[in-house]
Amino acid sequence: MTIVDMLGQSGVLTLLGMGIVFSFLIILIISVTLVGKFIHAIGADTDVTKPAAASAGAANAGTASAVMAPAIAAITAAVTEYRKTHL
């Protein structure tokens, strides 16, 4: 087998592999799109809990920020300590 034959065979294998991967990606995109349309059609993409009024939404936002405050404080303290020791 000459170098030209091996280069030709490697080119064919490269194109075949790229074609298989490209075909798989196309099938994956189509299937994800179809599943998304199906989920939207049956109405499963809506939130289970909906706030009754705008005030309930504001109360939920306040609760979420209150829950996140300790985590934000801990991250800030960790970054400050890291900067003190490593910079």
Mean pLDDT by 10 residues, the chain (87 residues): 94 97 98 95 77 54 74 91 87
User: Could you give the maximum distance between any two Cα atoms of the chain, in Å?
Assistant: 78
pLDDT at 48: 63
The torsion angle over the Cα atoms of residues 41, 42, 48 and 51, rounded to 10 degrees, is 50
Nearest-5° Cα angle at 54, 53 to 60: 95
